Every structure is written in C-alpha cells, then in structure tokens.
Structure 1
Amino acid sequence: MDLEAVRTFLLAAQTGRFQDAATELGITQQAASKRIAALEKELAVRLFTRSARGAQLTIDGQAFLPHARALMQAEAKALASVRPERRALRVDVIAKRSGMSALLRGFHEARPEVELDVVTLVDIGQALDAVRGGEIDATFRYVADVRVLPPGVESARVFDDRLDLLVGPRHPLAGARTVTPAQLAGHRIWIPGIVPDGVEWSVYYKKLAAEFGLSIDGIGPFFGSDHLMDVIADSVDVASLVAEKPRLAWPDGHDLRRIPVLDPTPVYPHSLVWRSDNPHPVLALLRGHLAATGRPVGAPGSWTPAGA
C-alpha cells in the first residue's frame, strides 16, 4: 500500500478539502486527487464523497480511518528503529553477570536517560559478524589478537578486571592473605563452563594455565554463581578464580575466602569493539564514559596473555 496516499487520505479527512491536504504536503491538488483515486482503486471502495463544500468521508472511509492512522504509526516506529538518534544502543556482553556487564551497568547508572538494548552472544566470531553486519552496535570482548578483527572494525581496551582466588574455609590456602600464581600450582582450580574449543574466555584461562603451570578445568555441570559458591564452600581441594566485577555475595555460613593474587596479578582485559563508521551518538557517549571511568590498563604488576 502506498503510504504517501494513506498520508494524503488522513490529511484530507482531517481538513475536509483536497486542496488543504495538498498544501500541507507541498503538492498540487491534482496530485493529491490522483493519490486518493489510486487508493480507492486499490481498496475497491469510495473513501470520500466530493462536493462544492469539500470532501466528506463515506462509511468505508470512516472504517478505514483508524487503520490508516495505525499504518502511519507503524511507519514512524519503523523509521525510528533504524535512525541512530532514535533507537536504543544495542550492546553485546558475553554474560549478564560479568565484568563487561558491570561496565555497561555503570554507564546506564551514569546516563539513565540513554536507552540500551543488552544482548548476549557467546561466540566471539558471532559477535564480530554482528558488529560488522550492523546487528549490534558494539560488543565487550577479550581480543586476544587485533588481527582477527574484520576490516572496518575497531577495538579499545577499556578495563582490566582483577582475578581473585576463591576458596572455602577448609582449603589449604584458606589462611593466606595473598597468594602468587606459583603457589596455585598443584591446586585444582574450577572455572565452570570452560570447553576445549570454546569462547574467548576459555582461551584466556588456557593461556593462564600454560603460563603458570596451573590445573584449570570446567569439569561438571554449572548451575550459576550460587552453585559455584556452594561447591567451593564444601570443598577441601577445589578453588576458583573470580573477577573483581561483579562482586559476589555468599550466604551466611559459607565462610568463603576471597584472596588477592599478586606477583603478578592476573587481569582479564575487556575491550570494546565497534564498527568504525557507526554513527550512533550514544556509542560516542559510551566510549567517552569508559575512557573517563575505566581503570588504566596494563598496570605494573599485572598479567595478561601476550598480545592482549
């Protein structure tokens, strides 16, 4: 259906004169009459009765009127959905409970008037394709090698998320105030969800294990952070590594110990990835917020995999 003809119909119905509708649209009266005639032909009904006093809606015209308004509303929504200044900024985070999500939540709290659409894409390849194809505006990722980024896609490292050791009260390291990566060798570290050829955070922990001779695995099912804390609290030999963001709150009686890892401190490097030609104004606001509030990356005494 020709939406310009529908728009002309609505103005003619409102003003009662084709000439007034034509003036409003910046067209001739003849052009307005042709649009209405074409619409009537398509609908196979008369929409107006014409007389010297103007144009009056017929019964069919009155029946069509609310649907014509709905068509105009649908057009406005469709246009708004693809206009950068009108639609929500669509951002991907690898998980809703993650350091990346915490960064985005901090931006939302600082700019609550900004609309965000938060999605979760597990695979980095899928996320990069979505950025390049315009399905999302940006993604938070561990970019192990910038050479994997598609042409026209940029990244900026915005936050290094410190990793702490999490143990229960009966674990051999429970009494330590700090630990080094070397002291973790020989202890089982459980990072649930790791798969052999999995997402980029699996790659990160694989490199961490290789660097310091650690035993890191994701054996067994994972039912969320509460399950992780239950397992750690009851275990005498299982520990985990947890990121600084978001903070964990464990139930009374668990008596978990969160121990800083030093000399060096493993940090998970978060990068924001976006398409270079993306004009969304909120994307610039997000990048500016992260630059102003993020912790300086590559701090002395921290460790990230080579190339990160």
Structure 2
Amino acid sequence: MDLRDVQLFLIITETRSLTQAARRLDVSPMAVSRRLASLERQLNTRLVQRTTRSVSLTQEGAEFLPYARALLEAEEGARALFDPKVKGVTGLLRVTAPSGFGQRHILPLVPRLLAENPAMRIDLQLSEAVVDIVGGGFDVAIRIAPLRDSGLVARKIADNPRVLCASPAWLRDHGTPKTLADLADHHCLRLTSVLQWTFDLDGQPTSISVDGRFSASSVESVRSLCVQGLGIAQLTLWDIKQELQEGSLVAISLADVQPQNLPIQALLPTTRYLPLRVSHFIDSLKASLA
C-alpha cells in the first residue's frame, strides 16, 4: 500500500472534495481520482462516494479512517525514532473531554507534556456533547458516562463513584439526609440533562427523580452553587475531590443505597497501530489521578 495514497485519502476526508484535495497537493483532479481508485483496488472496497459537487465516506471508508491515520502516524514515528533532533513523542494529539473534567484534570497536564515532547502538538476540545471521534478525527475521547454499544475500544483510567454532597452550612441548617426518601426534603441541584439520580441497590442501579430550584448544563455551575450552600448535588468524585479535601463540600452517605461507580474511561477508535503519543497521554492522565 502506497502511503502517499493513504495520505491522499485523508486529505479527501478533510476537504470533502476531490478538487480541493487536488489543489492542496498541487496535482490535477484526474490524478487524485486515479490514485484514490488505486487505493480502493488494493483494499478491494469502495472508500468514497463521489458526486459532481462533493464526496462522502462509505461505511468502509469510515472504518478505514482510523487505520489510515495510524499508518501515517506509524511512519512519522519511525522516522522520528532515528532522528537525533527529535525528543519524546511526536505528532498532533487530538483529545475530546467533558469541560469540567478537562479544565481540572487535563489542562494541567498540557504544559509538562509539551515541555517533555517538543515535537508534539495538542488539540483539546472540551464539550459536554458526545462527539463522533472517528468522523471528527480524534485520537481519544475521555468519557464519564455509561458507554453505549459501539465499535470503540474503552480503557479504564480511574474509578469515579457518584457522590452526594452539600456544603457544611446547608447540612447545618437543613440536616443530613439518611435515606433516599429524605432527599425529598432538600433542594436538589442537578445537571439539566440528568433528570434522575442513580445509585446502586444490591448491586443493581436504581434511580429517583429529583427536584429543586436550580439546574445547569455544566458541572462547574452545579458545583459552585452547591459550595455556596443552595442545596444538595450528585456529582462524581473527580468533579469535587478538591472541595472535599478543602472541606467546602461534605460527602453524604445514605443507609439504603450505595454510590454508583462511573469510571473515567478513554475511548479509542482502535488499538491497532496505536500512536505512541496516545498511549503516553493515557498513561500520564492515569498517573495524575492515581
């Protein structure tokens, strides 16, 4: 397989146009079409649907995409291995993560990663949305949520139990709930998208609807209002670990249920030809949370 044709395929997926790909490579559209057809013959499958105005990936093209990126990264890594001027891992690392977790636990890693790896670049996208990591060209997605069935590969980074919490002032003024039923007597601060709070009951998940006077789309907003004493929240350990250590929030245990674990996981398009920069990032994040 000619890696130049693989690179051409990646450029086509980025530009969504044979003409734009030809301009970027300074060749004719006909040459682009011929090289793409050659790659498809080698793989014995159609990678791209062509129209007069644009192109789109076939299902097989979408499945080949992470492998194509990995092939070029492997070549780049092999060249860097024997280049005395290159130190550490190389290439562009593209990461997507929830905003609250990313701000607190990924951004602090970036200065050291860049300092130790001068040939490495990082593109960090923080969002609460569940993005298509294959179509978006991401190397890794950090998830703190129940995982849907997919062809992605999950690697556990750390345990992350859900935690009921409140400020000392709220508990002093309103009492500490002892059971699930007691939560009805408290203002519950929740994420807008989370209509129920989930716990473990005899090893099985159980959920209750919660109500309160405030909800927000971000963990940061719920955490801030909870610290200010406006009610009880259910967040995860790594969302509030700093506040628990400082004493601005207190963890609440209920007698009739246990916390549900919501592990922090790294989702990968594939583990074949995994670029060194990806495994280095995952190892660094895991070590920082240990």
TM-score, structure 2 as length reference: 0.50
Higher Cα Rg: structure 1 or 2? 1
Normalising by structure 1, report the TM-score.
0.47
